[in-house]
Amino acid sequence: MAQHAYMIGTGIGNLAAGIYLIRDGGWHGDQITMYGLETHGANDGDTVTGYENEYGNQALKNSQGYLAKGGRMLNEETYENLWDLMRSVPSLDHPDQSVTDEILDFDHAHPTHDVARLMDKVNGIRNKGDENDYRHMQFDNRDRYLLTKLMLMPESKEERLNDIGIDEWFASSPHFFTTNFWYMWQTTFAFKRQSSAMELRRYMNRMILEFSRINTLEGVTRTPYNQYESLILPMRKFLEDHGVTFINNRKVTALTFKDTPMRDDIIVTGFDYEEVNGDHQTGHVDVNEDDFVFDTNGSITDSSSFGDMDTPLKENHEYAPSAALWKQASEHFYDLGHPDKFFNDREQSEWMSFTVTNNDHKLLNEITRITQQQPGNALNTWIDSTGLMSIVVHHQPHFHAQKENETVFWGYIMYPRRHGDYVNKPFIEMTGREILTELIGHLNEVDDGRDKIGDHIDDIMASTVNVIPVYMPYASALFNRRAVGDRPLVVPKHSHNLAFISQFAEMPFDMVFTEQYSFRCAQRAVYTFLGIPLSKLTPLHHYEKDPKVMARATKTMFR
């Protein structure tokens, strides 16, 4: 009997693992079955109706417009695994072209150049050429010393950062958190002050190429449409065309293991499941010892809550389903990490997003006028906003179904339990209309035109089809303070057939909160199980060892 692979979760990591099995392992698609709670995952983007139908979500019932819980900024230089694998996947819009070529061609034709990255009440856009110009990092010597010391710490000494937050590392230099660098870095990558210093160290090394251009985000690579349509759907189509079986709306609730003499040998013999739609029917699937199980042991969009234009969201207090399965496995074996470090402290990990759909271009044109940049030029952050609000206005259209008269953009709030500046209630309790009121208030602050955006709030509200707030309790969970060993290895020691593919598996050097990390997890797991030498893993760039890159970074430190 042929071997079989069972993929628990249909996020981008397991989709990549399926493609690696077929491309590099010579497997047939009928040897692979994928089980998903839903089809969107963290790389999402759809009409509201698409989400309502899939989730059966009452909060979205009768809503209109589009929804993207978030967006992912790719990078041409440091997403080596993604570009390599997606060269094997045909584009849906241009079947004679690979997804990699389609994305890079689009990005090269629409390069990012942010000219309104930071805004404040006093200066408006912080690019006026004075000491607040965000071209300046604004470090003092203590900041430089601590950041350099963190970056130069050898990987072998990472345990020195066990459970250390960024705020603790810079405790002797609180000035660091007032710099342009910190405002830009935290809102580009979704760090918080209490996030892991260990992860900041990894980012500084892996993304050092971006350090000298963080103010313009010129290193950001954009997809032609949202990531669901530009990445996920082509991957699913590739796998379906090769005969892979997808089973949606099924939650795996427990893994069963073989009782071995050594007790620490990990051999999955089956798993229990529950249908999440309909009558919640339960069942069990047997797994042979020579089959493989690839588990998504944590998702940053689990347990999300949705609102709409005039309805606030209702917080979902459910422990992340993907992490619950990881926790069940970790109770059987001692070296599978500690999921509670990432999924039991919402203060560290929570934030909100909101997607705005308009039936005309008035609001988009006003944002373009105020920020002085065209759609597609990355993001804008209001550093004085209590919730730390940012918006991302994509190249239009952002959805295939988007009509010519429609515009869609999204934003996010890093601190959802803080009160708004223009609506006196916590963001997590606001309707979409109230969040849009907050945004217009902040836009009005920096609007130096005679005809200000605040004068048109009624017209803008009338043209707004919907604003969908989404609360994500685990959005930054991958940055939670952690220690070495809190994340399981991609293929744990003594594991015969269980691998973890997610942002919560442990690999050297690479950085979480990136598709690159998920793709590399997938490659490492597949190559390990198939006996392909790990020396054949896709080569990674080490820009932190490039003298020219480091010279530019050093110069930027003093800019």
Strand 292-295 with 498-500, pairing: parallel
- The rounded distance, in Å, linking the Cα atoms of 320 and 304 is 9
Partnered with residue 467 across adjacent β-strands are: 356
How far is the C-alpha of 400 from the C-alpha of 225, rounded, in Å?
7
Beta strands in 406-506 (DSSP E): 407-413, 464-472, 498-500
Compute the distance between CA of residue 303 and CA of residue 35 in angstroms, rounded to an integer.
18
Question: How far apart (Å, rounded) are the C-alpha atoms in residues 88 and 75?
Answer: 19
Q: Which string of DSSP letters, residue by residue, matches 120-156?
A: ETTTEES-SSSTT-TTS----HHHHHHHHHHHHS-GG
Secondary structure of 214-242 as H, E, C letters: CCCCCCEECCCCCHHHHHHHHHHHHHHHC
- The residue type found at 83 is W
Q: Reduced to 3 states, what is the DSSP secondary structure of residue 25?
A: coil
How does 371-403 read in b/e, with b if 16+ C-beta sit within 10 Å?
A: bebebbbbbbbbbebebbbbbbbbbbbbbeebe
Q: Report residue 197 as tokens.
A: 């210093």
Q: Is 228 a catalytic residue?
A: no
Which residue, 200, 198, 199, 220, is CA-closest to 209?
A: 220
For residues 525-541, one letter each, b for 16 or more C-beta atoms within 10 angstroms of the residue's C-beta and e for the rest, the string is bbbbbeeeeeeeeeeee
DSSP state of 489: B
Pairing of strands 220-221, 74-75: antiparallel
Catalytic entry in 6, 51, 203, 474? 203
CA separation for the pair 467, 224 (Å, rounded): 23
* Torsions phi, psi for 473 (to 5 deg): -65, -20
Asked if 193 and 171 touch (Cβ cutoff 8 Å), the reply is: no
**Residue 379 β-bridge partners:** 392
- What is the distance between the alpha carbons of residues 111 and 35, in angstroms, rounded to a whole number? 37
DSSP H helices, 288-428, are: 321-330, 340-343, 346-349, 362-371
Which residues share a beta bridge with 119? 125, 382
* Token output for 467: 């604003």
Q: Which of 192, 210, 211, 75 is nearest to 148 (CA)?
A: 211
Are 254 and 325 a contacting pair, CB within 8 Å? yes
**Active-site amino acid positions:** 203
